[in-house]
Structure 1
Amino acid sequence: MMKLHNAMWPGLVGKGTDEGLEPPISLDRMIDLTAAAEVDGQRFDGIDCFLFHPHTDPYADDDAIRSLADNISDSGLAVGSLVAPIWPGTVGDSAMGDAEQRERFLSAVKVACRIANRFNEHGVRRYGVIRIDSAEFGVDAWRKDAVANTKSIAATFKEAAKIAADHGERLAAEGEICWAGMHSWKDMLNLLEAVDMPESLGFQADLAHTYLYLMGYNAPEHALLGEGYSEEEFDAAYETMTDQLRPWTIDFHVAQNDGQVHGAGSHDKTGKHCPPDDPNGKLDIVRCSKYWLKDAESRGIEHLCWDGCMFPNSTLEDPNTWNTILKTMIEVRDAHTNEISEGLA
């Protein structure tokens, strides 16, 4: 049965010390909120982690990593997927940049693999992937020479995938409209095919982000739906997209989207996550998840993760938020389990 995880990065992404931003929520607090959630005696099984300050020092020594692993384990949680610090201003830099920038990107993957291995040795982590993207915000620079820039990203990803494989890890490229070369379902597919290392690099599907893939937000030429679509049109478009990307999908985020984009701090124009019961939510979460989770086990997916990026701190601090999310996660998992038992998945 699939494990249920909560993402830790909503305590960081879009937060900060600049004027107008809410302060980050510590990793300890995010762990406590996750561990406290309960629905009919069921709890979250684990967390997915962001490997950068202030949650995690990417250069922490082995003792510090073991101490962190102990803290997570003592809270009754496991560790699943990890987000590599691949962006400019962290450890890494643009995957489509010059040689020096691309080398920094690869250094960030090495950092993430080292921490992953320490977690694995500890025993707190037994499944999950390492998440990456192109580390190039926006698509304007990419569009100046889309073919060459995609080729550069693919070359960087190939080297990153080799590093991951050497450490016994797999990389999952996040599909999101803000990442150059990965900003539409078609461009994402082209990039995955250009890398062509499915055993080492796959796709991370997020329900909120991939909804905006359908609408062609940053790539109108690849839109599969227009405003005012019918349920039948949605089903056909969703099946078209998932049939193409599902074979590559090795990590999955349960989420909700209200059809809008949102930006805060350095993270601009991302799909706007919202609570699962938001009245403006566009997705039937359980139904849409089924498309992505067909044959999920054959692709090595052992857990589901909730992603609620850029929720206000008041929402993140509300225990009811996590109980509602956990309830939705259980529904997704149970629907998938039932399909397996019925021989339909």
Structure 2
Amino acid sequence: MKENNYPKLHNATWPGIVGKGDGSEPIIPFDTLLEMTAAAEVNGVKFDGIDIGLFDPHVPVDSSDDDLKRLVEKVASYNLEIGSLVAPIWPPSGGSAMGSKEDRARFVEQVRKSCSVGKRLRDLGIRPNGVVRIDSACSPEDWAKDPAGNTKLIAQTFREACDVAADYGEKLAAEGEICWGGMHSWKAMLDTLEATDRPNIGFQADMSHTFLYLLGYNSPEDRILPADFDWKDREALTAGLRKLTAALRPWTIDFHVAQNDGTVHGSGSHDKTGRHCLASDPNGKLDIATDAGFWLRDEKGELTKAFRHICWDGCMFPNAVMTQPKTWNDILAAMIAVRQQHGWQE
């Protein structure tokens, strides 16, 4: 059987920064992540590209044209492309999307800078696909003090950010992660997206983070699976995934393959968030290749082809795990299995 060549398979670089530094493990250098990504290979198949977080010390959002040209030369030398970008919209450089006028202005400015980077990378020929990822940069606890008012503010900020992004030909993807206010449950996420009401806003589904919408950790009233759910009940899990994806799939414009063990993990601004597991983790609750299909195919089983690359997101793994070639080969094998079941040829 001929191998599918779409969607393209990307690895993420921000797991080298998220949860690192500040007294914990050292940040993994960008060059190291590039080398590990490029070296991974399974039966002759390799990663096609990388998705990048626009943060120091990897790729600063204030990168000059010369900085980006050097980045392009480096990434291209590994036969990789660049896809989606993560905008650094959090304080202190950014601000809460439901905060003060100044907070929200900083948020929008960070989106503008990120979209400028995105456009320049497109113009340099290294970035054929991808979006700019955002979140609300506020907690569910703060959002819950005034749900209606805060959703309205977040949507207003997102609209302004979308209008800025449109000037650069970019789409914004709101991340489905339960640690962000107004995005912490599937219903809250839908409310925020619908209130934003812009053609270039969409949803970033992550098989680990978005999975926790089923369990209602930060919004018990919106949980889809019962509190006494038995993980051995695959039929009920499948029904839950069908309900979740039917609601959010039409909005989905960016997709992360990942595994989850059904628990939460995090620290700081990423408190109560999805615990990413290794692709081979025996405690993983997802059948990665099968369950990716709930996002990649519509309710009739037809491919949506809503995005032309998919990315592996593996935040908060120890450095000793992230610097093992086996880790990336196992992840690549899982990605290939997703593409063979739910991809296409061009």
Q: TM-score category by the smaller chain? A: over 0.9
Per-residue displacement from partner, 1:57-102 (whole Å, max 9, x unpaired)? Answer: 211211011111110111110000000010113x311001010000
Secondary structure at the counterpart of residue 182 of structure 2: coil
Per-residue displacement from partner, 1:244-277 (whole Å, max 9, x unpaired)? Answer: 0000000000000011111135432221101011
Q: Which of 10, 15, 20 matches 1:15? A: 20
Structure 1 residue 165: deviation in Å? 1.0
Return the alpha-carbon distance in structure 2 between the equivalents of residues 172 and 183 of structure 1: 15
Instruction: Please name the residue that 2:215 is paired with.
Output: 215
Q: Does 1:117 align with 2:119?
A: yes
Structure 1 residue 107: deviation in Å? 0.5
Return the alpha-carbon distance in structure 1 between the equivalents of residues 305 and 182 of structure 2: 24
Instruction: Please name the residue that 1:2 is paired with.
Output: 7
Contact 2:303 2:342 in 1 (8 A): no
Structure 1 residue 299: deviation in Å? 6.0
Alignment of 1:1-345 (within 5 A): 1-18=6-23, 21-89=24-92, 91-136=93-138, 138-197=139-198, 199-226=199-226, 227-229=229-231, 230-264=233-267, 266-294=269-297, 300-337=306-343
Cα 1:192–1:178 change in 2 (3 A) is same
Aligned AA for 2:321? Answer: T
Aligned AA for 1:200? Answer: N
Cα 1:298–1:289 change in 2 (3 A) is closer
Contact 2:296 2:305 in 1 (8 A): no
Of 220-229 and 291-300, more deviation after overlay is shown by 291-300
Structure 1 residue 297: deviation in Å? 7.0
Aligned AA for 1:139? Answer: P
Return the alpha-carbon distance in structure 2 between the equivalents of residues 223 and 33 of structure 1: 38
Return the alpha-carbon distance in structure 2 between the equivalents of residues 8 and 74 of structure 1: 17
Of 52-61 and 127-136, more deviation after overlay is shown by 52-61
Structure 1 unpaired stretches of 5+:
none
Return the alpha-carbon distance in structure 2 between the equivalents of residues 246 and 7 of structure 1: 22
Instruction: Please name the residue that 2:3 is paired with.
Output: none
Per-residue displacement from partner, 1:121-151 (whole Å, max 9, x unpaired)? Answer: 1101011000000011x31111110100000
Contact 1:212 1:259 in 2 (8 A): yes
Of 289-298 and 64-73, more deviation after overlay is shown by 289-298
Contact 1:256 1:285 in 2 (8 A): yes
Return the alpha-carbon distance in structure 2 between the equivalents of residues 57 and 327 of structure 1: 31
Structure 1 residue 298: deviation in Å? 5.1
Structure 2 unpaired stretches of 5+:
1-5
Return the alpha-carbon distance in structure 1 between the equivalents of residues 114 and 171 of structure 2: 11
Structure 1 residue 287: deviation in Å? 1.1
Of 296-305 and 279-288, more deviation after overlay is shown by 296-305
Secondary structure at the counterpart of residue 80 of structure 1: strand
Aligned AA for 1:305? Answer: C
With normalisation by structure 1, the TM-score equals 0.94
Contact 2:296 2:304 in 1 (8 A): no
Secondary structure at the counterpart of residue 208 of structure 1: coil
Coordinate RMSD, CA, aligned: 1.5
Per-residue displacement from partner, 1:289-340 (whole Å, max 9, x unpaired)? Answer: 00101169756400010000101111100100000000000000110037x9
Aligned AA for 2:53? Answer: F
Contact 1:203 1:249 in 2 (8 A): yes
Contact 1:16 1:265 in 2 (8 A): no
Contact 2:297 2:304 in 1 (8 A): no
Structure 1 residue 216: deviation in Å? 0.5
